[in-house]
Structure formats: C-alpha cells, structure tokens
Structure 1
C-alpha cells in the first residue's frame, strides 16, 4: 500500500517509516517546510517526500494529490518543547490539521486514517485503570489541559465521523525513550536526576507508559489491520506516582524525591505534573491486543531511564 506519514521526522514517525518499508509498503513522508531533511530510497527512510504545513489546507490538498495514499498516518505534534505555545500548536494540529488531512485524504482516494491520540486525557473518575469508553476530562480546571483534551475529543470526532474513510485512533500512553521528556537528558529526566522534582505526599495518580518503538509498532499494526475505532496503547505495568517516580530516581542514581504537601507540590510542579502524580488514570489495552494483535515489548521498569 501507499502510506503517507504526516510527521515522519518526529519521534514516532521516524521509528514508523522503516517498519512500514520493512512490511513492503511504499512510504511517502509528509513534512513541513523547514523540517529536518528527509532522505529517500534507503531501508530506514521514506520512498518519497512531499512538503506541506498541515495547517495550510491548500498545501495539504496538493501534497496528498501527489502522494495518492491508500492510508494516511497522522503523527503530528509540536511537543518537542513542552510549553504553552507548543501545546496550542499541537491542539491546532489535532483539530485544523486533522480536518485538512481528512478532507485531502478523501479527495485523494485514501481508504484509511490512523491518528495519534493520548490515553491520559480521561477524567479522574472511577477505577485507577480505565478502558477506551471512559469519559474525557473536557472540563479540567487547568485551561491549557482543558484545551488539550477538547482538541483530542474534536480530533476523534472528526476521524470517526468521516464517511468513506475508515478511522483508527491510537491513544498512546506517556511516551518514554530517547529524545522524550523522560530521556535522562530530557527536561523531566534531568530534573529527576538532579533531585529537583518533588513528589506530593499522596501520589496515587496512575501513569501508563509507552516506549516510542512500541508506539510505532502499534501504528504499523493499525495500518495493516482491518480493525477501526479507538485503542489504548500502553505498556503492561500502570503505576502510581508513589511507585514509578522514586523508582525512576533510583534508576538514575538520584536521591529519592522529596515529599511535599499536595498543595505546595502543585505550586512547585505545575497543574499537569501534579495531576499526573495525584489523580491521573491508567489505560487498559485489552482492545488493542484482541483487535489489533498488538502488545508492548518494553516496560517502563526496563527502559524508563535508558533513553
């Protein structure tokens, strides 16, 4: 099949391209003008490259008309830097960008769209570990996080509501691996390694982690599968903050995180990190195993500190 990978130079996209080529697919990398150069024709690179900013509908239409995809894989984010501007751009990529890709994919005759979502957008209600039917946290008290979750919900609505194009949403867990926030040299990893990241006194929030390579393998499974719908993609070991953060510090050879009262910890950590450690829910992955035939290969206990 001809597969367009939007975001082919990103963390997951760059891991996915060689997997698709190894499966015999013809891979077209959709990159934004100014992205890192993409070579073609080698085993770990795309067969072709087309250039378009996903937020430019005219450019996306022209690029997909040239690419003639059977499947479009949407791995676009702007989260190399976790700041407010990056979060807002990512929200636009999930709404406007997704709408542009869908419109252009339909016009180009694509039969399927595979899209990157997040499993940790669920509301902090009910069991510690939730399946895909759990409600999303649309009314989160933090405006940036509320905007993020609302954009995810709109993206899912667009993908699953498009006639003539089958839609698959991969709700990834919290990514770890080289060049992620949890890389020992990354922003989060560096703070933990220096003993600069505290932990709330009640850290019962559950994180479901996911290695970048396992995310790419899930996208490969989704391209090749006839299954559609929403799938949580995460490792087998959801863990409370009181478990994984001290263990991560130990892996890095760092001192145990200092314990702070929750209200003080929120001011130090910021709302999102505090939510992760105190209230976030993990992700059940039974559906992905059964319908996509996917399973994780790397646990956070083995890979979180290895980069």
Structure 2
C-alpha cells in the first residue's frame, strides 16, 4: 500500500517506517524540520516538510502523495523537561490532536483514503482501581483541572477518527513508550533517562498509579498490524505486565545504572507541578491489549518491561 505517515520523524516514526518498508509498502513521511528529511530518506521513506496546523499545506501534500492509508503520529513532545517547555509542548500537542487531526481527516477524505490510523494514548483511561481498562472503557470524565485540555484533545481525536464513515477509522491507545529514540534509553543525551540518573524523576506518594508500557519496536509492529488488517474502532497497545510506578521505576533506574528513585509526598508535587502529575503517579490505570492480540495476532517481542528494560534500552 501507499502510506502517508504524519509525524514520521517522531519517536515511533523510525521503527514504523522501517517495518513498513521492509514489508513492501511505499511510505511518504512528514516532518516539521528539513534537517530530518535525510534520516527519513535513509529509512526508505519519501520525506516531505509540512506544518500540520496549516490546512492548505496538509491538503496539498496529501493530494500529491495520493495515499491509501494515513497514519497520524503527530505530537510536539521533545526538548528540555523544564516547566515552561513542558507546558508549551502540551499545548502544541493538544492542537495537533484537535486541529491537526481535523486537517488530516479533511485531506484524507478529499483523496479517498481507505484507512485512517491515529495515535491516542492510555494515560487518561477512566480511573477504576484494581481493574485493567479495555477498549470499551472511556476516557476519564473528571480529570484534574490542569489535565482537562489534554484529555479533551484525546477525546476529540478518538471521536473524530472512529466516527468517520468514509474510511476505516482506528485510534491506537498506546502505553508509555520506552527504548531507542524515546528518551527512556541508554543514549547519553536521552532526556527522561537523564532525569532518572539525576534522581529527578521521583516516586510520588505511594507510586500506586499503574502505567502500561510498550517497547517502541513493539508499538511499531502493532501499528503495522492495524494498518494492514485492523478493523474500525480502538485498539490498546501495551505489554502484558502493567505495573505500579513504585514497582517498575526502581527496576528502570537500575537498568540505567542509576541510584533508586527518591520518594516524595504527593502534596508538594501537587503544589509545584499540579494535580495531573500526582494523579498519573497515584491513580493511573493499566490497560489490556487482548483485543489486538486476539483479532490481529500481534505478539510483542518484549511481553514484559522487565525483559525490555534488561535487553531493549539501546
């Protein structure tokens, strides 16, 4: 198939392009930076530079690409993890999940794509302690005040994509990425790994929030399966071992050669970083990926973050 990947230079872009090209697909991949076109070309994609928030530019590049499938992997995550930059990245990502989604959908409809696959995530599944969320569960209806815009953006993306009738619309709720290119890796300049090594990524409160995780190559292989044979709707993509933060974070720190993470009460974090950070650390909910395994035969290379951290961070 001819596949248009919006956001092909992001964390999942490299392994996704490589896997699609290896399976004989033609890939057109977008980036915001001309400096990244060479890397995309080296992976076998046809690179294009586009501003995803410019509807005319999006319509133009999609029309020229004439894809059968559009894959929406646009985010604005990256750069230094200081408070100001994090707020800026979040706001930009919210726009890409709302305006960017709408622009890609309009462009896809105009050229008659058969399938539209979009990146959502599982961070804000409705809080229900002790159970794993499946695809029938909803996004949290009452998030903390400082997460409302992000949650609304995710809800917009999922409803817009799965609500189309002119193509197969599929949203992928990924677990947290780790592995090469994600920031949780052994590379010396990896942002999140650097925070963990400096003990600046603490366990907040009891660390009871359950974070589903997925190695980046497994996230890409799941996406390939959905591109090739997925059905309209939602699929969860994570490994088989969802675990509370207080369980997996010390193991990750050890794998990175770092000291154990600090433990910090919830109340100062709520004052300094907001309610969303505390909620994620203490109330986040794990997900089940049984649907994609059952329907599409997807099998992760790293079924647990335990083996993934030991073998897949470089």
Unaligned runs of 5+ in 2: none
The aligned length equals 304
Q: Check 1:3–1:277 CA distance in 2 against 1; reply closer, same or farther (3 A cut).
A: same
CA distance in 2, matches of 1:36, 1:210: 25
CA distance in 2, matches of 1:128, 1:102: 34
Cross-structure match for 2:90: 87
SS in 2 for 1:230: strand
* 1:35 shift after superposition: 5.2
Q: Which of 95-104 and 77-86 deviates more?
A: 77-86
CA distance in 1, matches of 2:271, 2:201: 12
Kept in 2: contact 1:9–1:38 (CA 8 A): no
1:182 equivalenced with 2:180 (yes/no): no
SS in 2 for 1:72: strand
Q: Check 1:215–1:194 CA distance in 2 against 1; reply closer, same or farther (3 A cut).
A: same
* 1:275 shift after superposition: 2.3
* 1:10 shift after superposition: 1.4
* 1:188 shift after superposition: 2.8
* 1:268 shift after superposition: 5.9
CA distance in 2, matches of 1:251, 1:121: 27
1:53 pairs with one of 46, 51, 54: 51
SS in 2 for 1:282: coil
CA distance in 1, matches of 2:134, 2:40: 39
1:199 equivalenced with 2:203 (yes/no): yes
Cross-structure match for 2:107: 104
Root-mean-square deviation over aligned CA pairs: 2.1
Unaligned runs of 5+ in 1: none
CA distance in 2, matches of 1:75, 1:201: 32
CA distance in 1, matches of 2:38, 2:8: 9
**Counterparts of residues 1-307 of structure 1 (less than 5 Å):** 1-32=1-32, 34=34, 36-38=36-38, 44-46=43-45, 48-81=46-79, 83-143=86-146, 145-184=147-186, 185-267=189-271, 271-298=275-302, 299-304=304-309, 306-307=313-314
CA distance in 1, matches of 2:121, 2:295: 19
* 1:301 shift after superposition: 1.3
SS in 2 for 1:38: helix
Kept in 1: contact 2:34–2:49 (CA 8 A): no
Q: Normalising by structure 2, what TM-score?
A: 0.89
Query: Residue by residue, what CA displacement relative to the aligned partner does 1:106-164 show, whole Å, maximum 9, x if unpaired?
Result: 11121110111101221222434211222212431142x22111101101111111221
